[in-house]
Amino acid sequence: MTIPDGQTLADVGEFALIAELAGLFPQGEHVLVGPGDDAAVLRVRTGHVVVSTDLLVEGRHFRRDWASAEDVGHRAAAQNLSDVNAMGGTAHSLTIGLAAPPDLPASWAVDFAKGFAAECALVGASVVGGDLARASEIVIAVTVIGACTQAPVLRSGAQPGQVVALRGRQGWAAGGLAVLGRGFRSPRVLVEAYRRPEPPYDAGPAAAAAGATAMIDVSDGLVADAGHVARDSGVAIDLHRDAFDIPEPLQAVAAATGSDPMALVLGGGEDHPLLAAFAPAAVPDGWTVVGDVREGEGVTVDGAEYDGPTGWVHF
């Protein structure tokens, strides 16, 4: 079935839309029963099963005038796949709940599914089920299931004397959000970073194999998420400004808005890099040491309390 242009969700109907969307999601060999039954059935792989759930709410986490449906699909998948990555695992299965107004163009839902499927394909994960419901605004709920072949890397294992290192870009999505919030569309590279993050999907399992003792997906903000590691590990973390190279697009946005580019790096979220604690000699190639782990509590920047924005808060 191909949905005609101009059809809304109400025109198409729930079950016809489900059939259309299900056809967009290829199934991996681990899927014994995929979309269409009361529940999916998966073949459990050897190792630890890891599960995470995230929500995206229109107007809170995305705006349709700032991002296409495919962009939102990529973002919804990326933030969940990255959570499994941060445990040192690899995602293999996801479910999607989509609630939306009846007058939403059906093509939006189809394009969202295409973006979601394309992001899942980067790690070989399958969409194995989901649900549709009517709502006054778009709400997306995603659950991801993955596996760790070794013990999962938690937030609670950082130890004094270690270093913290970052893998992936940081502050780019925050720069894009700042640009969009002022009604502009450039620097385009930052806008695209906001619309479609690029988590380092291969880095989580590699960090676990290299001996990372704590790890987190930086989704809310670097200072905020480093704070989660510090609190759960019972340590202090000091971040070093001079460890970060500020790319030219972030410098341009900061200059245009009269702000500090380091605020985008330290407080920005939604790029989904990984922050991990390692013994100093165990940091893998491709990671940048950005701080150290000390006795104490909380997060400092260059040894002092940081008074800038630390990251996203929901309430």
Using DSSP, state whether 245 is helix, strand or coil: coil
Query: 239: which strand partners?
Result: 291, 301
What's the rounded Cα separation, in Å, for the pair 206 and 88? 7
54 is in an annotated binding site: yes
State the CB neighbour count (10 A cutoff) for residue 65.
7
52 in a labelled binding site: yes
- Is 70 labelled a binding residue? no
131 marked as binding residue: yes
Residue 217 labelled as part of a binding site: yes
Judge whether 296 is annotated as a binding position: no
Give the span between the Cα atoms of 217 and 311, in whole angstroms: 13
Q: Any known ligand binding at 233?
A: no
- The neighbour count for residue 302, using CB atoms within 10 Å, is 11
Which residue type is seen at 306?
Answer: Y
Chain centroid to CA 99: 21
Ligand-binding site membership of 219 (annotated) = yes
- Residue 217 gets the label, from left (phi > 0), alpha (psi -120 to 50) or beta, of beta
155 among the known binding-site residues? Answer: yes
Q: Is the peptide bond before 26 cis (omega within 30 degrees of 0)?
A: no
53 is in an annotated binding site: yes
Q: Which residues contact 304 (CB under 8 A, 6 or more apart)?
A: none
Residue among 272, 263, 252 nearest 168 (CA): 272
DSSP notation for 151-172: PPP-TT---TT-EEEEES--SH
Instruction: Report whether 143 belongs to an annotated binding site.
Output: no
Per the annotation, does 65 bind a ligand? no
Q: State yes or no: 172 annotated in a binding site.
A: no
195 assigned to a ligand binding site: no
Structure tokens at 170: 């940081």
| Binding site, annotated residues for ATP | 130-131, 155, 219
| Binding site, annotated residues | 38, 52-54, 61, 83, 130-131, 155, 217, 219-220, 270, 312
| Binding site, annotated residues for substrate | 61, 270, 312
| Binding site, annotated residues for Mg(2+) | 38, 52-54, 83, 131, 217, 220
